[in-house]
Structure 1
Amino acid sequence: MKRDLSQKLAILSDAAKYDASCASSGGQRRDSRDGKGLGSSGGTGICHAYAPDGRCISLLKILMTNFCIYDCAYCINRVSSQVERARFSVDEVVSLTVEFYRRNYIEGLFLSSGIIRSPDDTMADMVRIAKTLRERENFRGYIHLKTIPDAAPELIEQAGLYADRLSINVELPTEAGMTQLAPEKSARGIRKAMADVRVQREASREVTHTGKRKAKFAPAGQSTQMIVGADGADDAAILGNASNLYGNYGLSRVYYSAFSPIPDASKMLPLIRPPLLREHRLYQADWLLRFYGFEVGEIAGDGMLDLEVDPKTAWALQHRESFPVDVNRAGREMLLRVPGFGAKTVSRILDARRHGAVRYEHLVTMGAVMKHAKAFISTPGWSPRGLTDDAALRSRFVKPPEQLSLF
């Protein structure tokens, strides 16, 4: 049955909802020599992502097609699935993107796809979409392409020249899980593709012998997604893999997506989804790994994260011998481990200490969350006094789910 554009959009935007790796963090408006161009970076199929400065950015998030030659057990679009199928042409995706922007619905495009015919054929069509937007339509908005690791390296290289960000999803945290649930995919091939992207990004920052800078390559970096709860991997394994990806492949972001049961599911998959709170704790732990100097073994030493309290507070409660921290003497590393102290607050404390003693009331104005911090610090005129490490202290940090925050 032939479908019109709106019907395709309904099918392929719904099919794209399972990919979490669409935030546009790090995106910048692309230069335009003549000062003209569509889009800026900086209904159906529209998702919202957030830039580092807090701006909400609207993206058209779609699949080019949900046809796929692979049979990954966890995927709703696997070849054996009975879902309704659709496919956009290159010009249809270009037209949708331009028209949505002109109506002020979006500021960019997130494009993924099932694998049709072959990885190379699919990747070539996605590259043509990005190239057409940039060169024919003069589109300067944000473009995020989910690349296919089995595609030819030259195709991924072209993708990076037109897209702001590339993502290559590892999908599952362990090779054992991938072998069991996605045997047609190669963990080694995924890592090689990630390494190639890192090499291309680093090379693009170099200056040629004539003093000119090379063309930008995926300037907003690369990201990936891991499905949580589809296999037996614990939180330590998930975070260990994420730490390796950050360290070895220079990823800008790892996204965590709680497994969602799908129709006609394989018997290898769980019948229920893991608690969303587990996904939330993984994001909090990821933040500690990237910006607070924690190691995986410190925050997930028992295999699973504490669901009742956030990972930093859980660590502090387990290491009461390290507290209270003297705010006026402790180094940056220890200050970053105080619950309620963010990285900006710690920088303000260190700066203020050069001019005089930091007191309790100063911490409030510096942005510290004192209801979390006060049991773990000492300052002139303040000590934890009766606040101890008994069950009453822990209970102060256990929140109802609706009160949870990411950071």
Structure 2
Amino acid sequence: MNYDRIKEKLEILADAAKYDVSCSSSGGNRQNKNKGLGNTGSGICHTYTQDGRCVSLLKILLTNHCIYDCAYCVSRRSNDVKRAAFTVEEVVDLTISFYRRNYIEGLFLSSGIFNNADFTMERLVRVAKKLRLEHNFHGYIHLKTIPGASDELMREAGLYADRLSVNIEIPTESGLKLLAPEKDHKQMMEPMGFVKNQLIQYKEEKKIIKSTPKFAPAGQSTQMIVGATNENDLQIIKVADHFYNNFKLKRVYYSGYVPVLADDRLPALGSQVPMVRENRLYQADWLMRFYGFQADEILDRSNPFLDLEVDPKMGWALRNVHQFPVNVQTASLEMILRVPGIGVTSAHKIVKARRYQTLSLEHLKRMGVATNRAKYFIDFQYGNQHLKFLQKTDLKQILVNQTKSKFKSPFNAQLSLF
């Protein structure tokens, strides 16, 4: 094996993969029961399981050769970059070698599309199949599916990978046509629909036949590029909401566009999407998934962009002060979840604890509530002196000044809602 060439390939294809942020291993639960290699468990860096454990993944492209010429992609056909491609055996050997050195616990494998969709997808599937069957590898595997690949290859991919995903790339069809005229959303959504139906089918079969193999047990996800075109945040979260409701996706990821190519259709080189906007989109996403918010509640036509100064839940509360204060002793769980500073875990603690005692601000603080925010929106049996600020026109500024908010990583954006 030419180790210098392998190292060069790794540098090129790992760098090209860095723009894909949808590599979380949330939902992976594959167990090693037969003295095989690897386990989907705790790790040392970079991505997180559903219960918060850190898992490290080898994140690479199979190749950065591509038949498409998408304006926003560094691997686009017309871009003058150094090209490389791994063989199936090289990816397998790298994964096993990195695992044995305790560098990684799984593989995130994507690819440029070379030759055609089936040609590329077949090689991605072969990597996963060799790892599972020949090396008895039980670590996490995330495969990017290729739009246009056959149903047979998609089905086989789901049997060997923990998660499948296909990036929708640009949120709107018009934006995609502007920057990637060779692609369309319908072609991208077809594999999503197939995976959704297969997940339902295998789940039903499992109820009857216990030995039914798992199919993509960690579900499927997608990613949207933010800021390459002029979509507003309302359009973006409505697209995400559509995918959650109609394709049962585990996650939608948001990637702020980083200008790396000069093109009149793209933002100017040197300009960059504020990282806080990306963070706000993750927070809005969390509200839809776990707090019972609808996309049209978080934003509307008169407010199409998320406020960069306050989180989306706070923004909603400031626009709907007529719904406050919320009495923590009597309010429904649904309404308590809408109070800024109260997270899902804390809300359930409040509902449980109030059966046995009359709650105070100190009780809520002990439950983990961010009382520096919540105190302006809640009421107690004996009143709350902070409610005098609720009707003030400068309440937002008071909150901005008094709340010590720090930027969180997109993968932990939920923490800043609590």
Question: TM-score, normalised to structure 2's length?
Answer: 0.92
Aligned match of 2:86 in 68, 88, 109?
A: 88
> Which residue does 1:137 correspond to in 2?
135
Q: Provide the residue aligned with 1:220 in structure 2.
A: 218
Q: Closer, same or farther in 2 for the Cα pair 1:70/1:402, shift >3 Å?
A: farther
Q: In the alignment, which residue of structure 2 is the partner of 1:127?
A: 125
Alignment check: 8 A CA contact 2:244 2:250 kept: yes
- Corresponding residue number in structure 2 for 1:63: 61
Match of 2:341 in 1: 340
Q: Which consecutive residues of structure 2, in runs of 5 or more, have no partner in the other structure? A: none
Letter in 2 for 1:152: S
What amino acid maps onto 1:184 in structure 2? Answer: E
Conservation of the 8 A alpha-carbon contact between 2:32 and 2:38: no
2:163 — aligned with what? 165
Matched residue, 2:400: 398
Deviation at 1:28, TM superposition (A): 1.2
Deviation string for 1:163-219 (max 9, x for gaps)? 000011000100111111111112111112101000011111123696334211100
Residue type at the aligned position of 1:270: P
- Of 267, 281, 288, the residue aligned with 1:270 is 267
Which residue is 2:296 aligned to? 297
Whole-Å Cα distance in 2 between the matches of residues 210 and 276 of structure 1?
47
User: Which one-letter code corresponds to 2:263 in the other structure?
Assistant: S
Alignment of 1:280-319 (within 5 A): 280-301=279-300, 302-319=303-320
SS of equivalent residue, structure 2 residue 186: helix
Tell me the SS of whatever aligns to 2:307: coil
Name the counterpart of 1:181. 179
Deviations 1:93-112 (A, max 9, x none): 00000000000000100000
In the superposition, the TM-score normalised over structure 1's length comes to 0.94
CA 1:206 to 1:31, structure 2 compared with 1: closer, same or farther past 3 Å?
Answer: farther
Taking the aligned partners of 2:400 and 2:207, their CA distance within structure 1 comes to 59
> Cα distance, 1:298 vs. partner?
1.5
Identity across matched positions, percent: 52
Aligned to 1:198: 196
What is the number of residues matched between the two proteins? 400
Q: Which whole-Å CA distance do the structure 1 matches of 2:99 and 2:337 have between them?
A: 41
Q: Aligned AA for 1:269?
A: L
Give 1:266 deviation, angstroms. Answer: 2.0
Q: What's the CA shift for 1:47?
A: 6.4
Q: CA deviation at 1:385?
A: 4.0
Q: Distance in 2 between matches of 1:180 and 1:67?
A: 22
RMSD over aligned CA atoms reads 1.8
What is the letter of the counterpart of residue 18 of structure 2? K
**Counterpart amino acid of 2:284?**
A
Distance 2:180 2:195 in 1: 23
SS state of the match for residue 398, structure 1?
helix
1:279 offset after TM fit, Å? 0.6
Identify which range, 126-135 or 380-389, moves more after superposition.
380-389
Shift of residue 60 of structure 1? Answer: 0.3
Residue-by-residue CA offset, 1:254-298 (whole Å, 9 max, x unaligned):
0000001113x3210111222111111000000001111111121
Q: Alpha carbons of 1:191 and 1:401: their partners in 2 closer, same or farther (altered >3 Å)?
A: farther
Separation in 2, partners of 1:216, 1:119:
24
- SS, match of residue 53 in structure 1: coil
Note closer, same or farther for the CA distance 1:208–1:376 as it changes in structure 2 (3 Å cut).
closer
SS in 2 for 1:227: strand
Q: Once the 2 structures are TM-superposed, how far is the Cα of residue 382 of structure 1 from its aligned partner?
A: 4.3
State the SS of the aligned residue for 1:200.
helix
Q: In 1, Cα distance between the equivalents of 2:395 and 2:54?
A: 37
Paired residue secondary structure (2:224): strand
Q: Distance in 1 between matches of 2:99 and 2:321?
A: 53
Q: CA deviation at 1:388?
A: 3.2
User: One-letter code of the match for 2:345?
Assistant: K
Match of 1:23 in 2: 24
